[in-house]
Amino acid sequence: MPNTEVTHKAPEDLPSWLSYIERLHPNAIEMGLDRIKDIIQKLDLTPKFKIITVAGTNGKGSTCAMLSLAYQRAGYRVGCYTSPHLLRYNERVKVNGVEAPDDALCDAFSVINRARVGSQEADIALTYFEVGTLAAIWHFNQAKVDIAILEIGLGGRLDAVNAFNPDCAIVTNVDLDHQDFLGDTRESIGFEKAGVYRIGIPAICGDAHPPASLIAHAQSIGAKLQCIHQHFDFKLNGTAWAFLLDQKPIYTLPLPALTGDYQLNNAACAVAAIHALQSQLPVKTEAVTEAMRQVTLPGRFYTSEYDPGLILDVAHNPHAAMALAGNLNALKLTWPSSGTDVVPAPRILAVFSMLGDKDINGVIEAVKHEVDVWYIAAIDHARGIAVELLAKALTEAAPSAEVKVFSSLEAAYLQARHDKETYMYRNENDKIVAFGSFFTVASVMQYLFHHQTT
């Protein structure tokens, strides 16, 4: 049923629209495609462009970024829809890397809202993500894009993005996350993510050990399944890597500009999709090369432009936390010496918080050996864990850990920065890493944005 607090008066600006669509459905997440398909039918909202759908537990954002940039460099007009955002909603909807302007998003929301409103009893109560997905597709049609890269929000089979048929679908990897909605095993989650595959289209899988459920579903519907290390692969060669298809090198490319060895998995998935669609949207090697060299993605082991000593990473599940730990460990191990003097490895000061429905213990276990001091606070969100419970989880997992508790993430970050700059035996190369959730990273980024640019 629609939320009775919502009126039919159209908002006048983007912040009002965002507040409005948050109240349309009583639940933030409501799996299923019936509601969104009703709107698609009412609007005859058929995409007039090619689609690559990207699902997976981790790596979706990186893969989307590489794909989007490669097609841009090849001369195509490219839409990219991702979630969530860090500073502005507009980040979710981009054309050729440029955020959709407020007025365009307001127009799109207005179109979707008019379609969902019938009689008072017959309104279609769409979720925030469903409205956003429909609005993005409508905007991409208006912008006349050639191809859109669409990131799955949650799972795959019943996610709003999956209401639109892709020309190629990617599952980057499968691990435990969102168990309340997807199940508590890799097999159940794998089946949900495999729901993005379609009969007769390229179905890319970047998981080194894909669940049997994913393979079985792809085979049962007749998808053109291509699995990493089987049908396609990558081979590292110094500062370059080769993309292999059936063990034969197809491209030689520079390493992705994104930090982390795991980014080669994401890059291989992106290149596999590009190669699979070559007959429909040709892309020269030079375009892929430029994309690898130039790709950036805020929030993925990303150094802040406002604070070079700050690393931002949205790692919010054990799989992502293990990747973060690997990057932090590599940072320490590869720290250079200065002549004959050994420069101390950087200390890691963690600004940390998570949502209460995530695997907090698993994340802490993955990264605890790389963190020297923890600065924690509760996320200002209904799903945020109480800071007392977060502190308890930390002290139980790492009894000797130094844990400092704050009233806000902004305060935690400010203290970490103060400590980094004033330790008696400070190392000027110490690093602050803010991680644990998109909300954690967003809180720190918003503070920096408002205090460094005004």
Print pLDDT tens along the chain (454 aa).
Answer: 444 455 566 788 999 999 999 888 877 667 779 999 999 999 999 999 999 999 999 899 999 999 999 999 999 999 999 999 999 999 999 999 999 999 999 999 999 999 998 644 468 889 999 999 999 999 999 999 999 999 999 888 999 999 999 999 999 999 877 667 677 899 999 999 999 999 999 999 999 999 999 999 999 999 999 999 999 999 998 889 999 999 999 999 999 999 888 899 999 999 999 999 999 999 999 999 999 999 999 888 998 888 888 999 999 999 899 999 999 998 876 655 555 455 667 899 999 999 998 899 999 999 999 999 999 999 988 889 999 999 999 999 999 999 999 999 999 999 999 998 886 556 778 899 999 999 999 999 999 988 874 4
pLDDT (0 to 100) of residue 334? 61
Please state, in angstroms and rounded to a whole number, the distance separating the CA atoms of residues 237 and 167: 32
Count the helix, strand and coil residues of the chain and give each as a percent rounded to the nearest 5: 40, 20, 40
Looking only at the bridges linking them, the beta strands covering 98-99 and 232-237 are: unpaired
Please state, in angstroms and rounded to a whole number, the distance separating the CA atoms of residues 328 and 311: 10
CA 208, 292, 315 angle in degrees (round to 5)?
55
Listed by start position, the domains of the chain span 14-294, 302-452
Looking only at the bridges linking them, the beta strands covering 348-352 and 431-435 are: parallel
pLDDT (0 to 100) of residue 119? 44
Which residues face 148 on adjacent strands? 51, 79
- CATH domain 302-452 topology: Protein-Tyrosine Phosphatase; Chain A (3.90.190)
Q: Where are the alpha helices (DSSP H) in 305-386?
A: 318-333, 360-367
CATH 3.40.1190.10 for the 14-294 domain, yes or no: yes
Please state, in angstroms and rounded to a whole number, the distance separating the CA atoms of residues 426 and 1: 58
Tell me the C-alpha to C-alpha distance, in Å, between residue 320 and each of 56, 153, 267: 12, 16, 16
What DSSP state is assigned to residue 424? T
Tell me if 194 sits within 8 A of 155, measured CB to CB.
Answer: no
CA 74, 283, 207 angle in degrees (round to 5)?
115
Same fold, 14-294 and 302-452: no
CA atoms within 13 A on the CB side of 353: 31
Phi, then psi, of 123 in degrees rounded to 5? -60, 145
pLDDT (0 to 100) of residue 343? 61
Which helix (DSSP H) or strand (DSSP E) does residue 373 occupy? strand 373-376
Tokens at residue 341, please?
């003097």
Please state, in angstroms and rounded to a whole number, the distance separating the CA atoms of residues 204 and 427: 45
Q: Where are the alpha helices (DSSP H) in 117-208?
A: 128-143, 179-182, 186-194
Q: Residue 261 corresponds to which amino acid?
A: D
pLDDT (0 to 100) of residue 283? 98
CA 433, 439, 445 angle in degrees (round to 5)?
60
Residue 271: Cβ within 10 Å count = 27
Phi, then psi, of 64 in degrees rounded to 5? -60, -45
**Among candidate residues 297, 223, 229, the one with its CA nearest the CA of residue 259:** 297
Give the distance, in angstroms, between the CA of residue 275 and the centroid of all CA atoms in the same chain. Answer: 23
Tell me if 253 sits within 8 A of 289, measured CB to CB.
Answer: yes
**84: preceding bond cis by omega (within 30 degrees):** yes
Tell me the C-alpha to C-alpha distance, in Å, between residue 146 and each of 46, 107, 162, 338: 14, 21, 19, 51
The predicted model scores a pTM of 0.90
Residue 165: Cβ within 10 Å count = 14
Q: Residue 164 corresponds to which amino acid?
A: F
pLDDT (0 to 100) of residue 335? 58
pLDDT (0 to 100) of residue 244? 96
pLDDT (0 to 100) of residue 23? 87
pLDDT (0 to 100) of residue 392? 95
